Amino acid sequence: MTKTHDVQGPIVDSSVIGDEAITTTISQVKDAWSRGAKDRLKLGELFSQLRSQVEAYRTNEKTGLTYNQAVSKTGVPRGTAERYREMYETVESSGIKADIFLALAEHRCNLAAERSVTASGILRDLRGLNSLDITDEDAVKKMAAKINQEYPLNPSDKRPASPVEELETLLGNLEGMPKTLATEKMIAETRSEIGKVQQSSLLILATALAPFIGKERQWAEQYVDNVAKNSALLKQRYAEAVKFAKSAAFLSENK
């Protein structure tokens, strides 16, 4: 399948490996991300490229750089980066038109998720899928519901999204829409809501941990208030809190 998602700036030749190629791709991601997630598949192509470059580089044992570390250098949340990469690679491998893939994704039908049938298999079964009129919202909703019902997600892919993940998905969709006063207002409100949810979640964790480090609830409230004054720091501390919570093995159910 011919790639049609041109990226601003030169694409690094696949024969080039090492710091220069990886640094160039990271720079391209930063540039695309700074303009907003208007083309999620363009970003997905870059993350797919970055993943290949880092993996190839590591096999030569010239650096300890991992894909996660490379993604962190772009400033894009890893979950968002992986979602875009999976979207791009699914479109490229399945033959599904990019605009149809994105229209279905906005109606909670992610063809990049693991299902009982692959995305290319669904395309073969539903011969009218690639001719779907994405301007007909009712038709898109019906197709999304049909796919979700007839080709259910694998159990491992049914982990419910967190409130922040859902808001970040919504933000990505809004940033991909044409700029109007209405969409700009919704984008600002969604960003604000993400910050509020992150602050609330961080407060819950800080309050729970306070007794273990000899602190009281007042300390937790003051700590979170100080962090919340800086949106970048709040985002970082929230990500660290999520990582800590996921690593807390003692909270897992006994089997």
pLDDT confidence of residue 3: 42
Long-range contacts of 176-180 (CB under 8 A, 24+ apart): 176/37, 176/38, 176/39, 176/40, 176/102
| Low-confidence residues of the chain: pLDDT under 70 | 1-18, 36-38, 56-65, 156-161, 173-178, 248-255
pLDDT confidence of residue 129: 93
Rounded CA-CA distance 80/223 in Å is: 27
Write the pLDDT tens digit of every residue in 18-77.
Answer: 577 888 888 888 888 777 655 777 888 888 888 888 876 554 455 466 777 788 788 887
pLDDT confidence of residue 163: 78
pLDDT confidence of residue 4: 40
Nearest residue to 1 (alpha-carbon basis) of 102, 138, 97: 97
What is the 8-class DSSP label of residue 76?
Answer: S
